[in-house]
Homo-oligomer: A and B are copies of this chain.
Amino acid sequence: MKIICQQQDLSKALNTVQKAITNRTTIPILKGIYLEALPDGVLKLAASDLDLSIEKKINVNTLQTGSFVVSSKLFTEIIRKLPEGEIEIELIDNTVMVKSFNSEFTIIKQSAEDFPEINTSENNNNLTLNKEIFKNMIKQTAFSASIDESRGIIVGVLIEFGKESINMVALDGFRMAIRKEKIINTIEKKIIIPARILNEIYKILLDHEDNDLLISINDKNIVFKIDNTIISSRLLEGEYINYKEIIPKNYTSKVKLNKEELYSSIERASLLAREGKNNLIKIKTEESKMIITSRSEEGTVHEEVYIEKEGDVLEIGFNSKYILDILRNVDDEELYFEFISNVSPCLIRPLDGLKFEYLLLPVRISIS
């Protein structure tokens, strides 16, 4: 194998592909990046942790076809630190030569045959989505999934492809995020993707300019295509929680408030909310204001936020981290908070429509 390529093209591609590599793997070949020079002037780069696989193609000058695997960390660092301009890469016996201006590297290669097969096959379950919408759906849900690998299916995010909408759902036992988007759809299917992988996909989408994201689903995998990048993720097997049953159908109190004001107040109140005590803050709704309080051995805080209220007054405790997570990821200027009691979950919704719903369990408090 022998190619000549541009440093910037190769460095950018490596930056995308190496996102599939995890430090947690104990299988040496999975710490490597696969490179294959194809006869039509295309270099294929690939990496995989078996759950997530990424493949990218760039244009190069192929002088001789062939393939090899090299240490992702070393190779990516070398290419990043070479000056802009042409790089010559040649496979000579068991080593990879990298030449550029006055630099010459000789790197031990691994065998390309040991590299895992990546499933990038398309099938009939295809659809094209707007990249920005998909990114926003990940951003507004994935943070709510469980990060405890022992919790089974809830480390994943449920994606429901319906005839007229796509829904994403994530929950961890303390909170739940539901995000809906009205889209006329060609597939009807429910899948569960590990939240960890969706977050990596989010980062990859940030780096791509194309707006069309092609999605293709089979029983075990979901494949995303954008520009010259193919991302393949393993699906989680099993039944997801029947989340619709958990959503309260009514409320005894409904509060309208400004998101930024609430965020700033809770952020300040959380300075005196201690981790050991679930970052507890207390919220009290009065006629036209919400009072947020918190206390630690260092002191106390009292914050007031203007609200419009329907229904009963209420005093309820929350883990401030969970509320801040939600407010940070929502774009709306104003929100509704719906309460039933101080031991029932609270529902956070937009003023109009059903684009998102967040369900949040309270922390039990002693009423002062």
Contact = CB atoms under 8 A, between A and B. Distances in A.
Interface of A: 71, 74, 77-78, 81-83, 95-96, 102-108, 264-265, 267-268, 271-272, 297-305
25 contacts: A74-B272, A74-B299, A78-B268, A78-B271, A81-B267, A81-B268, A81-B271, A83-B264, A95-B299, A102-B305, A103-B265, A103-B301, A103-B302, A103-B303, A104-B302, A104-B303, A105-B268, A105-B272, A105-B302, A106-B299, A106-B301, A107-B298, A108-B297, A108-B298, A108-B299
Nearest to A109: B299
B77 A271 contact: yes
A81 B299 contact: no
B299 A105 contact: yes
A304 B303 CA distance: 64
Q: Which 8 A-B pairs have the closest CB atoms?
A: A107-B299, A102-B304, A104-B302, A106-B300, A81-B268, A105-B301, A106-B299, A103-B303
A324 to B, nearest CB: 12
Contacts of A96: 299
A267 B82 CA distance: 10
A108 B299 CA distance: 6
Nearest to A268: B81
